[in-house]
Amino acid sequence: MARDSASAVAWPMQTDGYMTSQRVRLESKDVRPLHIVAAAIAMVILIGTIDFITGAQVSVAPLYLLPIAVATWFVGLRTGLIFCGLSAVVRLQDFWLTTHRFSHPLIAYWNGLVELGFFIVVALILSRLRSTTEHWAILARTDPLTGVLNRRAFTETATREVARAERYHRSLSLAYLDIDDFKKVNDEGGHEDGDRLLVAVAETLARNLRSFDLVARYGGDEFVLLLPETGDKGAEIVLDKVMGALRSAVQGRWPASFSIGAVTIDGPRTSLDRLIQQADKLVYAAKQEGKDCVRHRHLRRSGTSDIESTPQPEVPNHGAFPYAHSATAAHARGR
Domain boundary assignment for the chain: 27-141, 147-332
Beta bridge partners of 180: 257
Beta bridge partners of 18: 16
Longest dimension (CA), the chain: 92
288 — pLDDT class (breaks 50, 70, 90): confident
pLDDT beyond 80 at 169: yes
Least confident of 23-27, 109-113, 159-163: 23-27
Return the pLDDT at 240.
92
Contact yes or no for 231/188 (Cβ under 8 A) = no
Pairing of strands 222-228, 257-266: unpaired
Pairing of strands 171-180, 257-266: antiparallel
With vertex at residue 23, the alpha carbon angle to CA 324 and CA 266, rounded to the nearest 5 degrees, is 55
Contact yes or no for 196/179 (Cβ under 8 A) = no
Least confident of 50-54, 101-105, 206-210, 326-330: 326-330
Q: What proportion of the chain, given as a percentage, has pLDDT over 70? A: 77
Distance CA 330, CA 90 (A): 68
Least confident of 120-124, 174-178, 270-274: 270-274
174 — pLDDT class (breaks 50, 70, 90): very high
Q: Region 17-23: what's the mean pLDDT? A: 39
Q: Region 42-71: what's the mean pLDDT? A: 88
Query: What stretches of the chain show up as alpha helix (H) in DSSP?
Result: 32-54, 65-74, 77-96, 106-141, 151-167, 182-189, 191-207, 232-250, 272-288, 304-307, 327-332
Contact yes or no for 321/260 (Cβ under 8 A) = yes
Contacts of 139 (CB under 8 A, 6+ apart): none
Return the pLDDT at 138.
83
Return the pLDDT at 187.
86
What is the layout of strands, in order, in the sheet containing 222-228? 214-217, 222-228, 171-180, 257-266, 294-299
Beta bridge partners of 173: 227, 264
pLDDT beyond 50 at 317: no
Return the pLDDT at 98.
54
Kindly report, residue by residue over 26-52, the tens digit of the pLDDT.
333 444 888 999 999 999 999 988 888
Kindly report, residue by residue over 1-18, the tens digit of the pLDDT.
444 433 333 333 334 433
Return the pLDDT at 246.
94
What is the CA 234 to chain-centroid distance, rounded?
22
pLDDT beyond 70 at 151: yes
Kindly report, residue by residue over 194-250, the tens digit of the pLDDT.
999 999 999 999 999 988 899 999 988 899 999 999 999 999 999 999 999 999 999
Contact yes or no for 294/206 (Cβ under 8 A) = no
Contact yes or no for 240/319 (Cβ under 8 A) = yes
Return the pLDDT at 247.
94
pLDDT beyond 80 at 136: yes
DSSP state letters, 260-309? EEEEEEES--S-HHHHHHHHHHHHHHHHHTTSS-EEEEEEPSS-HHHHTT
Query: Domain 147-332 is classified in which CATH homologous superfamily?
Result: Reverse transcriptase/Diguanylate cyclase domain (3.30.70.270)
Distance CA 207, CA 62 (A): 48
Return the pLDDT at 51.
85
